[in-house]
Amino acid sequence: MQLKPVCRNNPSPLLTELPPLGMDVATLADDFRRYYNYTLGCDGDCLSTHYPYKALVLTLRDRLMERWKQSKYAARTRECKHAYYLSMEFLMGRALGNAMLNLGITDEVGRALYELGLNLEELAEVEMDAGLGNGGLGRLAACFLDSCATLGLPVMGYGIRYEYGMFRQLLENGYQVEEPDHWLRDGNPWEIERPEHTKRIHFGGRSEHYRDGEGRSRVRWVDTNDVLAVPYDVPIPGYRNGVVNTLRLWRAAATDVFDLGEFNAGSYPESVAAKNAAENITMVLYPNDASENGKELRLRQQYFLASASLQDVLVRWVRSYGNDFSKFAENNSFQLNDTHPACAVAELMRLLMDEHGLGWDEAWRITSNTMAYTNHTLLPEALERWPVRMFERLLPRLLEIIYEINARFLAQVAARWPGDGERLRRMSIIEEGPERQVRMAYLAIVGSYSVNGVAALHSRLLVEGLFRDFHELWPEKFNNKTNGVTQRRWLAGCNPALAELISENIGEQWKVDLRQLKRLAPLAADEGFRAAWRAVKRVNKERLAALVEAECGVRLPLEAMFDVQVKRMHEYKRQLLNVLHVIHLYDRIKRGDTGGWVPRCVIIGGKAAPGYAMAKLIIKLVNNVAGVVNGDPQVGELLKVVFLPNYRVSAMEIICPGTDLSEQISTAGKEASGTGNMKFMMNGAITIGTLDGANIEIREEVGEENFFLFGLTAAEVEAVRASYNPDAIIAADEELGRVMRLLESGHFSRFEPGLFEPVIRSIRSPQDPWVVAADFRSYVDAQRRAAETYLDQERWTRMSILNTACSGKFSTDRTMQEYNEEIWRLKPVKIQSRDQQTAISD
Ligand code: 26Q
């Protein structure tokens, strides 16, 4: 039996409107008990907290489901343009607190559970983080989805349902050890499997040219090995507006051919093994936050995402418009989250031509007016390249299309700059050399109508550097969209005490209009408000200290300045510079130079890519320094150092509210934007930072007097390289000299002599790309200014309040409005919502 498709004028008794689900304490408690007792079959023997957690999620999911359907109908009934955010990563973290917050029923749920003898905070802790991302780029995608739903923008996320997310980081003897993150082990109650929307993805084979019934020359991709893409939908609720958007994640499954054994010549065990190979595609997230070149499985993942998502959109299009694609570009935009899904450019061409019979010109007009590309890096070595030979083996038809795109593109370049062979070589999508490579960024630029960077400096440096030639050719394509974070998760959700203090004083509108925070600025002069502000920070420092004690076994003194650097471990982010400062503070204590001392707790956390030896060695260094410092009775409470293991979204929700000083100390010109910097600022931390990424805009917003600036500018970094001489800098700086001697004497590697040689060599190398030694002096001076300021708690509090007050720009609501006004041009969907009335309850 097949069900008939249903629409407005073809209602089905199956779907006729049910009465809205109650949002009151009693109804929530009833539903919860029904799930607990019947759906999950719990009885007195059920001791696991997973059952009440699941019952709660199902209770909430029903409320989301009502709104999900309404949102779908609202976006489908008119000619409604959609945007699709294509991303290999969505670092969602936990969904429970966010769902309650956005539905406006946190208090009601808390009371319902209390009446059932349960504790909401404890249940929320049961949820695993959905760690389907590495860091900034993946978390940005998650914040974007939250803001789009809140703004009512019809934007759908497309990603991969990795069986294993970002690895769990353990420390053994100070070394990082990775453990697989089997986050789906106990099931994922938020997701809905949609097997009826399964798509078929081709790999391998060859292209075959033929003539169709009308005598036209066509191409088909034959003799392929196919894999199925099965979608799982995750609801993305907007903030109290009745909107629920969709994140669709694809899982790889073997086709029936594998089971039948045809593919493997009838040999059953081999056939089942091959089935595994197919399903491996979505097994694990690659844990590198800079491109790891040439891994075939990664290319398979990328194409799998691009193809499944494009087919999905095209199926919906054809259902409404048949094979008339004349208005497709008007009605659809694909935002490519870096080059990871950039196969989509060639894949859309293939689908339009080979599957839907369009000619090249029409297909190209559509593709190049539909795709938009966001770049997230300035490191040339992080630009993705794929060996042509691998492409040819895995995606022969795509490579053929890329060659044609490139030929037509280079003809355009040649027409604009006749005789400039060097330029053709530089701009070609195919890099020539002993191993020819496909330059994915160039494919993305050529195939897109918009190319953006993620902070003002980054966007400027892109067009002056990496993409200079392309900017010269198409200046109108390039634009900036400064990143943001969602204040629902990163202030309202994670910092309830501060959220309440803010709302008491300026109302609740800041949750949907972050610029309202500006109204806090005058309160910085109010002594009573400052005292209340400090009391909130104190509570949050207690929470953070409890986390640190549980994870690291170190007790942090609460009056100390909490000085925090959490982010992926990377040389350009310069955790090493932070460590050098810590060693310097330790050295001062040992020398008795402690006049006017400000006690500090230095907290460092972050994962290193498993193959990144230097980043892993720096983790070990932090741990060894922590061991020496924390174990020295002479240091006592003056200085504590910890490496907080397994940094992740749910840890940041405790870390950023409890932070005093935010470390944003990357080598200028290397951090595209940063987004942790924004979370800290929003929660009243003061930044010590370089003129890099969005730090520049943070400083602009808050004023130079409320930001501890240090270091070379991006231009100065480039200028200094020619004559960079770290040995001379070390010799000329007494304090840096002492730090280096401590490091070189083996003071922090007593049992492993020579362990930190590679670190020392990199600091002393004239080729050090991160110029750590060059910024040491100005960093230490800025740290001194920070400490002196902290001594004056009233002044520090004023600065802290102003940081929050001036963080309004850094909402992803603003970022998404800019994407929409300048790239997507979608009409917001309005839902008749009963959620607004309950909006006062949180
Ligand atoms: C690529 C190929 C193969 C394997 C892995 C990768 C890969 C995966 C993740 C490459 C890069 C990433 C992640 C990059 C990232 O997170 N970039 C950060 O993006 C943030 C959001 O725009 C910025 O704020 C940060 O500055 C930027 O570093």
Q: Indicate the SS3 state at residue 39.
A: helix
* C-alpha 669 – ligand 1 centre gap (Å): 15
CA-298 nearest atom, ligand 1: 3
* Best residue for ligand 1 mutational test, from 289, 452, 612 (most atoms within 8 Å of Cβ): 289
Instruction: Indicate whether residue 376 lines ligand 1 (CB < 6 A).
Output: yes
Nearest to 710 by CA among 762, 661, 761, 673: 661
Residues 6+ away with beta carbon under 8 Å from 630: 554, 640, 641, 642
Active site residues: 376, 567-568, 573, 675, 679
Whether the Cβ atoms of residue 683 and residue 656 lie closer than 8 Å to each other: yes
Angle between helices 96-103 and 50-76 (to 10 degrees): 50
Inter-residue contact 607 to 568 (CB < 8 Å): yes
Name the strand (E) or helix (H) holding 643: strand 639-643
- Centroid of chain to Cα 191: 20
User: Under a CB-based contact definition with an 8 Å cutoff, are residues 361 and 325 in contact?
Assistant: no
Nearest residue by C-alpha to atom 6 in ligand 1: 291
Cα 716 to Cα 308, 667, 719, 722, 723, distances in angstroms: 46, 11, 5, 11, 12
Write out the DSSP string of 245-306.
EEEEEEEEEE-HHHHHTTTTTT-HHHHHHHHHHHHGGGTB----SSPPTT-HHHHHHHHHHH
Query: What per-residue confidence (pLDDT) applies to 6?
Result: 65
Q: What is the CA(722)–ligand 1 centre distance, in A?
A: 29
Q: Is 695 in the pocket of ligand 1 (CB under 6 A)?
A: no
Ligand 1 and 136: CB distance under 6 A: yes
DSSP secondary structure letter of residue 752: S
Query: Max CA-CA distance within the chain?
Result: 90
Residue type, 11: P
Q: How far apart are CA 661 and CA 710, in angstroms?
A: 14
Q: Atom 2 (ligand 1): residue with closest C-alpha?
A: 291
Q: Tell me the per-residue pLDDT of 464-476, one tens digit each, with 9 for 90 and over.
A: 999 999 999 999 9
Q: Say how many Å lie between the CA of residue 292 and the centre of ligand 1.
A: 11
Nearest to 338 by CA among 95, 568, 135: 135
From the CB of 137, is ligand 1 less than 6 Å away?
Answer: yes
Q: Where are the alpha helices (DSSP H) in 683-811?
A: 695-702, 714-721, 726-732, 734-744, 757-764, 772-791, 793-805
Return the structure tokens found at 458. Answer: 């980054």
Strands 244-254 and 155-160: parallel
pTM of the full structure: 0.97
Low-confidence stretches of the chain (pLDDT beneath 70):
4-11, 77-78, 257-266, 836-842
* Phi, psi dihedrals of residue 710, rounded to the nearest 5°: -155, 170
Give the Cα separation of 499 and 510 in Å (integer).
10
Measured between alpha carbons, how far is residue 140 from residues 19, 87, 170, 400, 829 in Å? 36, 10, 25, 33, 22
CA separation for the pair 725, 143 (Å, rounded): 42
